[in-house]
Amino acid sequence: MSGLGKKFRLPEAFDQAVPGEYRMLPCRFVSLDDNRYVLTNEVGEYLVVTRPQLEQFVRKTVPFHGDFYHDLKSKHFLIDDDSNVAVDLLALKYRTKAQRISQFTALHLFVVSLRCDYTCQYCQVSRQTDDKLAYDMSQETADRALEFVFRSPSPAVKIEFQGGEPLLNFPIIRYVVDQAKRINENHDKYIQFVITTNLSLLTDEILSFCLAHDICLSTSLDGPQDLHNLNRPRPGRNGYQLTVEGIKKAQAVLGRDKVGALMTTTEASLPRVREIIDTYLSLGMDAIFLRALSPYGFAVKTRQAYKYDVDRWFEFYKEGLNYVLEINRQGYPFVELYASMIINKIFSPFGTGYVDLQSPSGMAISAIVYNYDGDIYASDEARMLAEMGDKSFRLGSVHHDSYEDVILSDTVLDTLEATLSESLPMCNDCGFLSYCGTDPVYHYATQGDAVGHKATSGFCSKNMKIFRYLFTLLEDDPEARRILLSWVRP
């Protein structure tokens, strides 16, 4: 302590109020454009300020009783002699935002088969051809995985069936749903089920089962017919037709709100974002998630992941988001899901559970993956990396390891420690920190370590561009602001 004292002033030196002067609370700032800065605090409240205002604030020369002073005070950027509950209030808001960390793990992914009837070039799961039964999950593996599910403290769990094509192993889906409901009679968790499927194998029997058990379907739809079939080739070249027929049939039986779709952006998608969104609209969908390709699995083997850079992808995203706003202006409520998650991080006291926008990383504590063979991975991306031969983020096996072995493994704890944005180089100073997250597998795959060098990171660059664009819309376009705020969940 005496050694520290030589370099640093004692804590009390920072806590002494000078009568009549305000004290700054922890905050960060980042440039929005040439003239403005986004000033944020630990709980994600923000003010957009000019450079003179920012200088005034940090020099503690903001005049009392002016609007700017009141804005800073009400949003917890400063306290003064009258603000005796402000720090407690700030702490309460921080606890509310961080609450989900104590309620891990909400999302449990069951990879019930690696087999697939498609041969997508960008496939991120390194599928097997559809006759290799050795790549199916067994009942024994499913039972062990369910034990892990019910050890999770989270009062709400979502079990998502993935592949390959999970409907190629529908008997195990049926088994897991029945078993989970039976086990839950003693746990009383709120359980949801989702099947992520290309819909080509959808039958009336499967739909009846989904209806009976309130199961949602999530599919892949990359846009109009030629683009979808180019991105997602299937023997017979009828992938689009089967997907669209499946969506319509599932919507009719389960309801529109039970059927969602995801798209992936390939090089061929870049000039066609409006057509892609129009395809979603034509099917009565109310949302789209404009997603870039991830550098894993077949996307790397076929080099699809490297065919466009972040700048080109952002132009695609911006055009798409602007089109989504235009659709809303015309009276049709339609959501872009990535923007919606960020907007919720900015304006909702609860934030979002989206794995890539968490600090520490959501791996294992937001989502966990049980592979067909019982291996456990920290995230879906970690499994994709393993399929490429790198098992750095394998956490263990449902067959050989206990829940404690897995959740308290060095891989989980070291990665969580290494992904607290508040302590990461560049992130710790970034004004967007409260809205951002970390993606250890992405940074490991692209830069060789889980922390990553943010100045050259595609993840950081993409998020920075989106944050700046959203704040510009919020500040400069009242109609866009109204629409974006309508996406905040109560």
454 binds ligand SF4 (CB under 6 A): yes
Candidate ranges 222-230, 319-327, 382-390, 458-466; the one touching ligand SF4 (CB under 6 A): 458-466
For the CB of residue 353, give the shortest distance to ligand SF4 in the complex, in Å: 18
Stretch that binds ligand SF4, among 124-132, 177-185, 293-301, 431-439 (CB under 6 A): 431-439
Candidate segments 14-22, 39-47, 73-81, 425-433, binder of ligand SF4 by CB under 6 A: 425-433
Interface of this chain with ligand SF4, residues 394 to 423, rule: CB under 6 A? 421
Q: Does 463 bind ligand SF4 (CB under 6 A)?
A: yes
Nearer to ligand SF4, 358 or 463 (CB): 463
If one asks whether residue 470 binds ligand SF4 (CB under 6 A), the answer comes out as no
Any contact of residue 432 with ligand SF4 (CB under 6 A)? yes
Gap between the Cα atoms of 348 and 350, Å rounded: 5
Interface positions, 243-282, toward ligand SF4 (CB under 6 A): none
Query: Whole-number minimum distance, CB 433 to ligand SF4, in Å?
Result: 4
Among 176, 378, 398, 433, binds ligand SF4 (CB under 6 A): 433
Task: Please report how close the Cβ of residue 185 comes to ligand SF4 at its closest, in angstroms.
Answer: 43
Identify which of residues 150 and 314 has a Cβ nearer to ligand SF4 in the complex: 314
Residue the block writes with tokens 């907007």: 343
Which residues make beta-bridge pairs with 132? none
Cβ nearer to ligand SF4, comparing 288 with 464: 464
> Of 325, 427, 466, 470, which one interacts with ligand SF4 (CB under 6 A)?
427
Closer CB to ligand SF4, residue 299 or residue 427?
A: 427
Nearer to ligand SF4 by Cβ, of 163 and 458: the residue is 458
Tell the smallest beta-carbon distance from residue 467 to ligand SF4 (Å).
6
**Position 464 contacts ligand SF4 (CB under 6 A):** yes
Beta carbon of residue 447, minimum distance to ligand SF4 (angstroms, whole number): 12
3-state secondary structure labels for all residues of the chain: CHHHHHHCCCHHHHCCCCCCCCEECCEEEEECCCCEEEEEECCCCEEEEEHHHHHHHHCCCCCCCCHHHHHHHHCCCEECCCCCCHHHHHHHHHHHHHHHHHCCCCEEEEECECEECCCCCCCCCCCEECCCHHHECCHHHHHHHHHHHHHCCCCEEEEEEECCCHHHHHHHHHHHHHHHHHHHCCCCCEEEEEEECCCCCCCHHHHHHHHHCCEEEEEECCCCHHHHHHHCCCCCCCHHHHHHHHHHHHHHHHCHHHEEEECCCCHHHHHHHHHHHHHHHHCCCCEECCCCCCCCCHHHHCCHHHCCCHHHHHHHHHHHHHHHHHHHHCCCCCEEHHHHHHHHHHHCCCCCCCHHHCCCCCECCCEEEECCCCEEECCHHHHHHHHCCCCCCEEEECCCCCHHHHHCCHHHHHHHHHCCHHHCCCHHHCCCHHHCCCCHHHHHHHHCCCCCCHHHCHHHHHHHHHHHHHHHHHHHCHHHHHHHHCCCCC
Number of residues that bind ligand SF4 (CB under 6 A): 11
Q: Is 460 in the site for ligand SF4 (CB under 6 A)?
A: yes
Choose one: 155-163, 208-216, 281-289, 427-435; the region binding ligand SF4 (CB under 6 A).
427-435
Nearer to ligand SF4, 20 or 448 (CB): 448
Residue closer to ligand SF4 by CB (options 81, 311) is: 311
Nearer to ligand SF4, 108 or 345 (CB): 345
Query: How would you label 133-153 residue by residue, b for 16+ Cβ within 10 Å and e otherwise?
Result: eebbbeeebbebbbebbbebe
| Residues in contact with 175: Cβ distance below 8 Å, sequence separation at least 6, in sequence order | 139, 142
Which residue among 72, 216, 263, 436 contacts ligand SF4 (CB under 6 A)? Answer: 436
In the bound state with ligand SF4, the residue whose beta carbon lies nearer, of 220 and 344, is 344
- Closest approach, Cβ 391 to ligand SF4, in A, equals 26
The answer to whether 377 touches 395, Cβ cutoff 8 Å, is: yes
Instruction: With contacts defined by CB under 6 A, name the span among 44-52, 135-143, 366-374, 430-438 that binds ligand SF4.
Output: 430-438
Q: Which residues bind ligand SF4 (CB under 6 A)?
A: 421, 426-427, 430, 432-433, 436, 454, 460, 463-464
